[in-house]
Structures are given as C-alpha cells and as structure tokens.
Amino acid sequence: MGKPQKVTLKEAAALINDGDFLTFSGFTIWRRPMAFCYEMVRQGKKNLHLFEVNGGTHTEVLAGAGCIGIWESCWVGHELYGKLGEALAAGQIDGSIIVEDYSHGQAVARLLAGAYGLPFIPTALSMGTDILNPKYDNLKKAGLRDGSNPKIPLKKYDIVHDTLYDKGEILLIPAANPDWAVIYASQIGTEGTVRVFSQRYVDVEAIKAADKVIVIAEEVVPEEYIRQEPDRNIAPGYAVDYVVELPWAAHPTGSQFNYDVDADFMRAFYQASKSKDGYKKWADEWVYGVDSHEAYLEKLGVNHLQNLRANTVMGYSTTMKRGTR
C-alpha cells in the first residue's frame, strides 16, 4: 500500500522472474507496454505464463524470442498490419508453447472474476464450441491442472445448472489472478493515480486482478491535476506498486491522444516474424541492437515519430498516410 515506487525500465523488467504469470494492458495493437516487453527480451526471460484477454504485437515479440511457456488467450495478430500471430503459432505447432484457447468474452470473464475477488463468473457466451471440447484442454494434457500451481484452475471451465432462475445450463469461468499486470498508461499522478484516454479495454480489470502492478506511463503529472476530474481515472495510487516514466513506450502500438499505430514498422515486423531467421535479424536490429528505449527512439528518428503524433482534439494522427488515397 501507499505510493508506488519509481524505477527505471531495466529495474522494472528485472522484477519479473522466469516462470512468472503476467498480463498486459491494451487491446491488440493499442496501448501495449512494448518497451517493457523489449526489455524482458533483452534480459532473456524464460517460460513466462501469459494470461491475455487478447494478444498482439507485444505477444509476438515475446514469442519470437522464446520467452513464453504458457499462453492463455483468444486471439493474436496485428490487425490490418499483419493478419496472423506467426511466432506464437510456430510455438503452438512445435510444442514449445502451451496454448489454452478461450473466447474473448470468456477471457474477459476470467479477468473480471479475478478483479472482483470471485473464484468464477457465469457466462452463456460461446457455448457449443470446440473451445469447450474436453479433448482440447491443453493445460490438463500437460498435467498442470493438479492444483500444484495455485494460479492454474483445477478445470478449464465448468457447466452448471442455474438453480436460481432455472435458465438451464451455463458456464462457470475461473478467475485469472496474474502475479503481475504491466500497464501502459497515458498519465499517472505523482501519487500513482492512473489515467488512460478513450476506450479502457480491460485495463481496469487487469490492475485489480494482479498481485503486483507496474505502470509504464507516457508522463507523470501533478497529483492535484489528475484529481480534478476523478471520473477520468481508472485506479488509485495504492493499487500500483512500481512506476516507470517513459515517453513513446507503447510504440509501435498506438496510444489514444498520444500517438497512432506505426503501421509500416508493424508490417515490417510481421514479415520478419514469419521465420526464426527473420525474427532474429529483426530483433538484432530493434531489440538486442539498442541497449535502451532512448536508443530505440533515436534510431526511429524525430520525423518518423512526429508523423505518428495524435491530433490533440481527435486523439489519432490526422497527417499520416494510411491507405492508397
């Protein structure tokens, strides 16, 4: 409890141990703590257990570097800028990553239950699908539903009969309570109050569900300022353990009212991610080849970044060329 501790990016990533259970802020290619993921790759994290309501470019950066042991989620890709999650797919196919598929709404239920301190939440979403096929419970097949890991539920889901309103069968979806939530946010107050702009995705739930929270903030602002409009904030300072102040830390993903998605950078990464060699060359240039986030920004260049900068009224770049017209 109390105020979060200010740390550097390297110190923050060093808090994560091999095998830890993590979740991240954002949605597919928006508001992902990319700089933190690059740093985990540089520090050579192994066997991470990720719970992600949805995956994205950051998932692929970690998967390509061999950081992921278990991935529980529903989707991975780069939206319009790369249609598949190639590195994660390769890991699932060669057996190096245990993949547990839920539907998107079921994954939300997992984090929601975790956030509210409940063991499960009922849902009628995605019944009758192969997501529920008992043959496809990959954590069970790996022998990991034996109770020895308190973060892995004894069952992927349960089906119960509603005894209260007699609505018939309904699913119970187990809570997810990761060791860590790593949240990229636009603003954090000097006492740790967190603010994001526009859609909140599942950032609020991720903060509440995790045991420890690291916020990578675009900027630190006076606490008095952020408290003038408390309805725009998503978490109090006592919910946050560590803060890193780091501009452009979500690049190449976008951050509403800060900067847009870097489409060209993401397309280039997607092409590279299609092979192990391609990934290695890309990572040698953009992850291992830059010792710090500052060196990464230097390499990107001012004009490149300026083109991504969000219009402060619209919340996204109105100057970048996006299509053919």
Partner 1 sequence: MAKNYATNYKPNDLLAVASAREVNDGDVVFAGTGLPMLAIMLAQKTTAPNSVCIYEAGSVDGRPVDLPASVGDARCAWQASVAAGLTEAFYGQLHSGYVDLGFLGGAEIDQYGNVNTTVVGDYSAPKKRFTGSGGNPDINSLARRTVFIMVQEKRRFKEHVDYITSPGWRLPKWPSGEFVHRKEVYGKFFQGGPSAVITNMGVFRFDDDGIMYLDTVHPGFTAEQVKDNCLFDLNISRCQGETERPTVEEIELLYNEVDKEGIFLP
Contact 223, 191 (CB under 8 A): yes
**235 closest CA partner among 226, 246, 244, 224:** 226
**Shortest approach of partner 1 to residue 128 CB, angstroms?**
3
Restricting to residues 209-248, which ones interact with partner 1 according to CB under 8 A?
Answer: none
Restricting to residues 62-101, which ones interact with partner 1 according to CB under 8 A?
Answer: 73-77, 79-81, 83-85, 88-89, 92-93, 99, 101
Taking CB under 8 A as the criterion, the residue among 21, 257, 269, 279 binding partner 1 is 257
**Shortest approach of partner 1 to residue 115 CB, angstroms?**
9
Q: How far apart are CA 105 and CA 173, in angstroms?
A: 10
Restricting to residues 259-318, which ones interact with partner 1 according to CB under 8 A?
Answer: 260-261, 263, 310, 314-316, 318
List Cα–Cα distances, 257 to 184, 213, 232, 321, in angstroms.
14, 23, 14, 18
Q: Which is nearer to partner 1, 236 or 315 (CB)?
A: 315
Q: Which is nearer to partner 1, 113 or 243 (CB)?
A: 113
Taking CB under 8 A as the criterion, the residue among 17, 96, 118, 167 binding partner 1 is 167
**Shortest approach of partner 1 to residue 1 CB, angstroms?**
25
Q: How far apart are CA 55 and CA 259, in angstroms?
A: 20
In this structure, what is the dihedral angle of CA atoms 274, 275, 278, 283, given to the nearest 10 degrees? 90
Contact 85, 76 (CB under 8 A): yes
Q: Which is nearer to partner 1, 136 or 191 (CB)?
A: 136
Q: Which is nearer to partner 1, 42 or 110 (CB)?
A: 110
Beta bridge partners of 3: none
**Shortest approach of partner 1 to residue 29 CB, angstroms?**
6
Taking CB under 8 A as the criterion, the residue among 11, 119, 160, 169 binding partner 1 is 169
Restricting to residues 176-215, which ones interact with partner 1 according to CB under 8 A?
Answer: 198-205
Q: Is the dihedral of CA 287, 289, 292, 295 positive or negative?
A: negative
Question: Cα 277 vs. chain centroid, distance in angstroms?
Answer: 25
Stretch that binds partner 1, among 34-42, 43-51, 180-188, 258-266 (CB under 8 A): 258-266
- Kindly determine how many residues on this chain lie close enough to bind partner 1 according to the rule CB under 8 A: 77
Q: Which is nearer to partner 1, 113 or 240 (CB)?
A: 113
**Shortest approach of partner 1 to residue 148 CB, angstroms?**
23
In this structure, what is the dihedral angle of CA atoms 139, 184, 120, 165, given to the nearest 10 degrees? -130
Residue 29 near partner 1 by CB under 8 A: yes
Q: Which is nearer to partner 1, 232 or 299 (CB)?
A: 232
List Cα–Cα distances, 100 to 170, 229, 240, 305, in angstroms.
20, 40, 28, 36
**What is the bridge-based pairing of β-strands 242-245 and 180-189?**
unpaired
Q: Which is nearer to partner 1, 19 or 247 (CB)?
A: 247
DSSP symbols for 125-186: TTTTSGGG-GGG-HHHHTT--SSSSTTS-SSS-EEEEESSS--EEEEEEE----SEEEEEEE
Q: Which is nearer to partner 1, 201 or 286 (CB)?
A: 201
Q: How far apart are CA 286 and CA 298, in angstroms?
A: 11
Contact 109, 74 (CB under 8 A): no
Restricting to residues 120-159, which ones interact with partner 1 according to CB under 8 A?
Answer: 123-136, 141, 159
Taking CB under 8 A as the criterion, the residue among 143, 163, 164, 325 binding partner 1 is 325
